[in-house]
Amino acid sequence: MFKKVSMIFGFLRLYIFLFLFDLELSRKGFTKTFEKYSVKYCNKAPYDQVSQEVVKEMEKFFLLLNIVCAWYPKKADCIHKTLIGYKVMHKKFASPVEMVVGVRKFPFEAHAWLRINQENLFPEEETNHYKIVISSNSYVKEQY
C-alpha cells in the first residue's frame, strides 16, 4: 500500500515539475534554459562511486519519467527528459552526468541525451549517428 501511494505521489510531483519545466522552456527558450541547468545543477564536488542501489533508484526514476512524459498532454521530448534527468541526477544522486545535444545531417534530426564518463547513460539508445554540438560541460568550464 505504501509503495503504491509513494509511486502516485512521485508521479504527481514529477508531472508538476514537467509542467513547470515546459513552461520555463517555452518562456525562456532552449539556450537560456540549457545554460541555467548546466551551471545551476552541476555539482562541483568530487563524485563517489555509484552503488548498485543508486543505479536501481536511477532506473526507477527514468522509468517514472517516461511514464509521466507519456501522460503529459503536450509532446515531452528528449530535451525534457534530458534536462529534468540532469537536474535530478546531480541533486538527488550526485552523479557525474553530462547533458549533450547532437545533430544528424541526413535526414536532419536533433537529439539530446545524458552521458557519464563519455558513455551514453542508456547504452541501448543509438546516439553514435549524431555529432555533438553542445554539452553542459562546456558551460560549466566557462564559469571557472
46-70 residue pLDDT tens: 566 677 888 888 889 999 999 999 9
Look-up of cell digits 541555467: 36
Cβ neighbours, 10 Å, residue 67: 15
Please state, in angstroms and as integers, the Cα–Cα distance from residue 113 to each residue in 6, 77, 98, following that order.
27, 11, 8
Mean predicted confidence (pLDDT) in 22-27? 95
Q: What percent of the chain is predicted at pLDDT more than 70?
A: 90
Q: What is the pLDDT at residue 9? A: 93
Nearest to 108 by CA among 125, 126, 131, 124: 131
pLDDT at 139 over 90: no
Residue 4 is predicted with a pLDDT of 84
Full-model pTM: 0.87
How do 131-135 and 97-104 pair as beta strands? antiparallel
Whether residue 97 contacts residue 90, with contact meaning beta carbons closer than 8 Å, is answered with yes
pLDDT (0 to 100) of residue 142: 57
Mean pLDDT of the chain: 87
DSSP string, 37-93: HHHHS---SPPPPPPHHHHHHHHHHHHHHHHHHHH-SS---HHHHHHHHHHHHHHTT
Distance CA 64, CA 10 (A): 8
